[in-house]
Homo-oligomer: A and B are copies of this chain.
């Protein structure tokens, strides 16, 4: 359980997100859904960079962000591991980020002139797909 073999993360060249964000999102999702078990080890910076064919600096930056957010923790000389779940952000900080995400989403979507019902249904579907951790 401690050694992760490949960490199936994929970099989509057609994706609008910067590569580092794709890594952050991918790993965070795996941790949140339990696909990456608690205390399992992550691939080394150089290893993941080579596997994905990208610059090691980009991987390092992603790891640093995940560590700062509390999803990962480093153990001296051993590497990076999935951190135990805890309240990573204050309520105020989470509200602020939620506000930003909601505001951005609404602004992006209002330009499309789609019925609100359709948008909500679409979102509901996607959000449900990432809840399993709580029930497991």
Q: How far is the CB of A133 from chain B (nearest CB, A)?
A: 9
Q: How far is the CB of A113 from chain B (nearest CB, A)?
A: 7
CB-based nearest B residue for A107? B25
Each complex incorporates copies of this chain amounting to 4
Give chain A interface residues in 78-110, CB to chain B under 8 Å. Answer: 84-94, 96-98, 100-110
Asked if A128 CB lies within 8 Å of chain B CBs, one says yes
Asked if A53 CB lies within 8 Å of chain B CBs, one says no
| A111 contact set on B, CB distance < 8 A | 28, 32, 69, 97
CB-based nearest B residue for A103? B126
Q: How far is the CB of A18 from chain B (nearest CB, A)?
A: 4
12 further interface pairs, Cβ-Cβ under 8 Å (given A25-B107, A98-B114): A16-B73, A17-B104, A19-B76, A29-B107, A29-B110, A32-B110, A68-B68, A87-B90, A87-B92, A88-B93, A89-B90, A102-B122
Give 9 CB contacts A-B under 8 Å. Answer: A16-B100, A25-B107, A90-B91, A98-B114, A100-B108, A105-B123, A116-B127, A120-B120, A123-B123
